[in-house]
Every structure is written in C-alpha cells, then in structure tokens.
Amino acid sequence: MEKIILFTLTMVLSAVLVQSKYYSRSVAYEPVQLKKTNLRFYVHDTITGSNPTAVVIAHPNATSSSASPLFGRLIAIDDPLTEGPEISSKTIGNARGMYAFASKDDKELTLVLYVDLGFTSGKYKGSSLSVLSRNPILENPREMTVVGGRGLFRHASGFITVRTQSDDGEKGDAVLEYNVEVVHP
C-alpha cells in the first residue's frame, strides 16, 4: 500500500512539474550609451540654532578616556542643497541620510557617510544620487563615492570632490562644495 501511495504521489508531482511554466524570460543584454554629467552645488550642514539640519541620534557610552569623544556618534541629516555657497541661494534639493564618526583618532576625523542627494528642481527634479563613502573631513579637498541613483541617474556611478567652504569648528556647522562627476545611461 505504501508503494502505491508513493508511486501515485511521485506521478502527480512529476505531472505538476512538467506543466509548470517559468514566468520570466531572459533577453540578451544590449549595452547602452553612457552619459557623463558634472554638477556643482553646496551642502549646508547645520547642527546648531533653532532649525538644525543635522541631529545626533545616537552616541556611545564613554568607556575610555583615550578614545575620541566623537567616535561612534551617529547623526541624521536633512541638509539643503543650494546653487551657491550662501544659504539664501536657490535651493535645488536636499541631502538626506546619516553619517557616523568612524575614527578613534581626533587628528584624523573620518566619517562614514550614507546619503541620498535628491534634486527637487531643475533638469534633475525627481532624480537622486546615492553616496556611500568614507569622508575624511580634515582633508580639503577629499573624494567620496557615488554608488547609484534613481530617476535620470539610475545605475549612476562616479565620485564627488568635496571642498569645505566654511566650517565653524566650535559649533560644527559647515558649508561644503560638491563637484560631482557621474556616468549613467
């Protein structure tokens, strides 16, 4: 009896597998022509005042007097992107994401940055660039990596040369010039 049930079950499953269809199809890849886009804009990272654009969301417990007091601090940002270095310049988007202080040595202040540079006006409205990179903030200039994007920047890759335009070391507020070079379809 067991053999009959096992045989019947095997036949039913075999019939189901034969009738099953694969619901996607593969097509040959056709290379697309890549475009190179260069952008320059300014990021205003404001920690102080009544309307900060960067806020501390986590910090480590102080366990060692030798570690940097910033090491391990995590900051969420919603920084405006402007055409010029003045905050009154035309706003073209925002930088939303997080950065963490990732160096124990105060002389080498390095952030790990993940941010979406979203454009809200102009030719690139509705598109964004994704950045995931090391950011050695004491180097001027420094370079960060663009790892992707959406909208007109879908499948983008490239880099950003960052220059600190102004920095209030006491408060932590900064204005950064971003020179972006990306390739995308």
What pLDDT does residue 69 have? 80
pLDDT at residue 103 greater than cutoff 60: yes
144 located within any domain: yes
Average pLDDT across the chain, whole number: 90
15 located within any domain: no
> Tens of pLDDT along 70-94?
888 999 999 999 999 999 999 999 9
- In this prediction, residues 178-185 reach a mean pLDDT of 98
What pLDDT does residue 26 have? 84
27 located within any domain: no
Report the CATH number that the domain containing residue 97 is assigned in CATH. 2.40.480.10
User: Which domain range does residue 127 map to?
Assistant: 32-184
- In this prediction, residues 123-138 reach a mean pLDDT of 96
> Tens of pLDDT along 134-148?
999 999 999 999 999
pLDDT at residue 18 greater than cutoff 60: no
What pLDDT does residue 182 have? 98
Q: How confident is the model at residue 2 (pLDDT cuts 50, 70, 90)?
A: confident
26 located within any domain: no
> Tens of pLDDT along 153-173?
999 999 999 999 988 767 779
> Tens of pLDDT along 24-70?
778 898 898 999 999 999 999 999 989 999 999 998 887 666 567 88
Closest by CA to 119, choosing from 130, 134, 108, is: 130
13 located within any domain: no
Contact 163, 175 (CB under 8 A): no
Output DSSP code: residue 140: S
Overall number of domains in the chain? 1
Measured distance CA(16)–CA(21) in Å, rounded? 10
126 located within any domain: yes
20 located within any domain: no
Going from the C-alpha of 16 to that of each of 6, 11, 13, 46, 167, the distances in angstroms are 15, 9, 5, 62, 67
What pLDDT does residue 60 have? 85
pLDDT at residue 20 greater than cutoff 90: no
8 located within any domain: no
